[in-house]
Structure 1
Amino acid sequence: MPAEPLRLPTAPAESTEATEQATLSAVKDSSLKHPPTTDSRSAGKQHSGRNKADQSNVSDAGEAKDSTKLPSDAKAQSSTSEPAPNEVHKNPVRQSVEEICQLLGDSHEVRQEITARGVQFNTLNVLIDFGTKDKHEEQAELIKSAVSASQKEFGDQGITSEQLEKHLDTLVTIERDLGHVRRLSQNQGLNMQALNFLTQMIRLNPGDGGEKSVNNLMAYAVACGIKVEGFKQEAKELMAGTGSVLPQIPKQEPVSKEEELKNILRDVLIGLAIGMGVLWLFL
């Protein structure tokens, strides 16, 4: 007879289901009794640290990207630091006009302060003229009368001799500087009449640098039928900066009374020495 195959004993279905339920309950009990170990916690911390590192890298990259962009103020400063493409260079005409306008503006401020305190305009001009010509005695007499008239009109608010003398020293220095600038401009071959007229027109409209007054003059000239096309060539020659071959006169510093007396005595002694030498030769 053929042998029958061996059959392993099998548990009934109910017993296997009970076994699975018992296993699950045991796993749950063990998880409640034994919480997660430090390895699992460290793994969680490493995961959160990685997330923070990724976020910091993203923020650093964003800041680096933003740092390449200039702020609006920096852009404005960089744009203003660059010279304008149509800026006119310092030619003799422009340099002379700017210096004269600056000196005239300084003189105007001091003059206004003096005249506002009772000194007449014509009297002030005479006082300045005496100062530029070193007529100190005449200037001192006129200062006394000007101060007396000012204090008579304004009382204690009138100008004093010390204040007027200080202002006059400033104005005399400005006038000498103006004369020096005008001499240099004349030595460079500039037309002083045109230069003085231009500075007056610029001072009429200091806000726009004389643009309105000069354009107004050009409009009137064209309306009168005056040909103005020739000014372009002359302007090119002036802007070329070809000055005169004459040397520029150095600015003379004001000489004090002591130095002036020393110079006079020196000249007298030199003259006496030369005269005595000539007499000794003939005798």
Structure 2
Amino acid sequence: MSDLKSSPRLNELAIARVLNAAGVKKSRPHIDKSALAGCIDVCADLFNNAKLFRVQTIEKKERSQLQKVHTIALKLKTVLSKTPAAKFAENSDKFETALSDFVVNTERLVKLTWLSTPRTGLEHDYVEGRAYEAHFKSKSPLQWMVGVYLAEVYVLFIGEDLTGTYLDFACQVLKELKIKNGNSNFSRQAVARAARGYNRTRKSAPAIKQDEWTIYRENKFYWVCGVRDTLDLWTELRRREARLIAAEQAANISGRK
């Protein structure tokens, strides 16, 4: 995933419009707006990846490149075996051994898919990259964005489930990010269809399958929120909100004295 931008895509005014659409701008003025903007950035980056891997297969391109490298290495190995004079070059024996290993390893790498079992750490990284690409194909980019990413952010910051103002929240975020259906904004009906299937609430959260991509997203959310030492981001965000409320109340009391 691309690195997060130093400044979020949505500025303070845009976040205010999002919170207003969700109906909490006035009732909950102490929501961590900076953290919310950062989490929406994570969603936008993941949405861009979902679009990329929906229409472009990085694996196919890399496999073709690896096949070319393997073919070149195999040809060089053949040429060396037919050139006895090459053995007089310093370290030629080590090079031939390394080249033979390289030919075998690149041949194996060409055949690896996201379902393969890696044998080395490097192979693990390669297979994981293919798995990251493949997991996007189970949904459309909009389904990922509205049905998963923004839904998780809404539960973290605004509501304990997706009833109420979630569709208003999602539609406004899409509008602010300029994510459109052609030249037009996505209709509320289209957003509602994309949102179906997400039923995560605070009570059901532990039952959600914690696959590696869910954990990957959550780690990104933790990072942009500046949270390192808690197992529950939702609780930490509510604590921040409560601390700000308490500080404001204390200031008001002090001001009246």
Q: Bin the TM-score by the shorter chain.
A: under 0.3
Q: Max radius of gyration: which structure?
A: 1
Greater fraction of residues in helix? 1
Q: RCO higher in 1 or 2 (8 Å CA, sep ≥ 6)?
A: 2
Q: Name the TM-score, length of structure 2 as normaliser.
A: 0.24
